[in-house]
Amino acid sequence: MAAQTAGTTENHPHAARDLIGYGAHPPHPRWPNNAKICLSFVLNVEEGGEHTLLNGDDHSEGFLTEGGATAAPRPGPTRHLGYESAYAYGARSGFWRILNLFRRHNLKFTAWTIGRSLELNPDTARAMEEAGCEVGSHSWRWIDYDGMDPAEEKEHIAKTMEVIKATSPSGRYPRGWYTGRNSMNTRKLVYETYREKGALDLLYDSDSYEDDLPYWVPSPSPSSDPSVPSPPLLIIPYTYESNDMKYAQTPGFTNSTQFFDYLRDAFDVLYAEGERSAASSSAPGSSSFDVPKMLTIAMHSRVLGRPGRFAGLERFIEYISKKDGVWVATREEIAAHWRKEHPPSQAVIDASRQSASVALVPASRASQ
């Protein structure tokens, strides 16, 4: 498989860039009950973990608020009570509005949960698990980890794992990880921390946006020592596009109808590919690319939890509820299915047992 390689190992700890992937012949996912499409709803629970003087920072976070996607902070050290209050809405009201919608429809979502958010509001973890939802990790703080000292980032990873384990009724570490504003070291550090805690076997990574289906990559921390587990890592891609963050971007969504229309159109395209696959591989206009796919819908409590935006989510759930062959699953369920139906190839397994490991990138600036 051709790949676009990185410059130097020291500056590029991730694997070489792969622009081919599955190409024209993606695998048939064999979703449960022959589903034509898999839907993954993901709720980002970040409130309380953002920049604020209360967390020892020198400014208040304006990212993804009513101030826009990249609202400029006030010259610090100054609290911005408006930004803080906009974040608080997500925890106090928006989260519960979204959770109750999924309860009413007997549907589940995965949550990308900031560790600091759970520490401040542990009831959210209990409520989500009691509703059958998955509590995944969004790292310790809602900050940009680029350039952070690797030792400090690893400490954040470990602390997040322990807080989620302590606040979740299941009493277990999160299976899924999505930092979002990750560093070049994040994937390797997460992998190694899970390995040290004996929790590597069920880990999946979602810091990727490059496919409509899960896929495997070699271990980001390979080892030739048989006593050191270094299995391939499962990637379940996330999304920037079917994402309510566009309400805070220009151009982006300005009302719930635009949000609903976009989700419906994305659903219809992928649903049609699944239908053509189910009909016949020899049907007119069909191809080997026509297999069922996965659609991720990304939500934020403080964004989509606002009533005027929430209406679009309600309409979309009502829309898909009238369709047959739709599998709405947590990402943990998707990971379990993929491990069973599409285990890693021998080539990926062999690459995970290399003797040479990948160097970490040193800190390029002070931590956030």
- Residue 72 near residue 62 (C-beta atoms within 8 A): yes
Instruction: Specify the higher pLDDT residue, 355 or 317.
Output: 317
Instruction: Specify the higher pLDDT residue, 226 or 245.
Output: 245
Can you read off the two tokens belonging to residue 96? Answer: 């519960």
- Residue 231 near residue 216 (C-beta atoms within 8 A): no
62 pLDDT above the threshold of 90: no
Signed CA dihedral, 147, 152, 158, 161: sign only: negative
367 pLDDT above the threshold of 70: no
286 pLDDT above the threshold of 60: no
Q: Which residues pair with 217 in a beta bridge?
A: 233
The pLDDT of residue 73:
66
Considering 6-20, 267-281, 352-366, the range whose residues carry the highest mean pLDDT is 267-281
Question: What pLDDT band is residue 47 in, cutting at 50, 70 and 90?
Answer: very high
8 pLDDT above the threshold of 50: no
274 pLDDT above the threshold of 90: yes
**Domain coordinates of the chain in residue numbers?**
32-243+331-351
Instruction: Specify the higher pLDDT residue, 246 or 75.
Output: 246
Helices (H) and strands (E) counted in the chain, each on its own, are 11, 9
Whole-number average pLDDT of the chain: 89
Spatial separation of the C-alpha atoms in residues 295 and 107, rounded to whole Å: 15
74 pLDDT above the threshold of 80: no
Q: What architecture (CATH level 2) is domain 32-243+331-351?
A: Alpha-Beta Barrel (3.20)
The pLDDT of residue 35:
98
Spatial separation of the C-alpha atoms in residues 268 and 262, rounded to whole Å: 10
Question: What mean pLDDT do residues 87-115 have?
Answer: 97
284 pLDDT above the threshold of 60: no
Signed CA dihedral, 20, 215, 30, 231: sign only: positive
Instruction: Specify the higher pLDDT residue, 180 or 7.
Output: 180
Spatial separation of the C-alpha atoms in residues 350 and 182, rounded to whole Å: 27
The pLDDT of residue 17:
84
The pLDDT of residue 356:
54
Question: What pLDDT band is residue 68 in, cutting at 50, 70 and 90?
Answer: low
The pLDDT of residue 72:
66
Question: What pLDDT band is residue 54 in, cutting at 50, 70 and 90?
Answer: confident
Question: What pLDDT band is residue 307 in, cutting at 50, 70 and 90?
Answer: very high
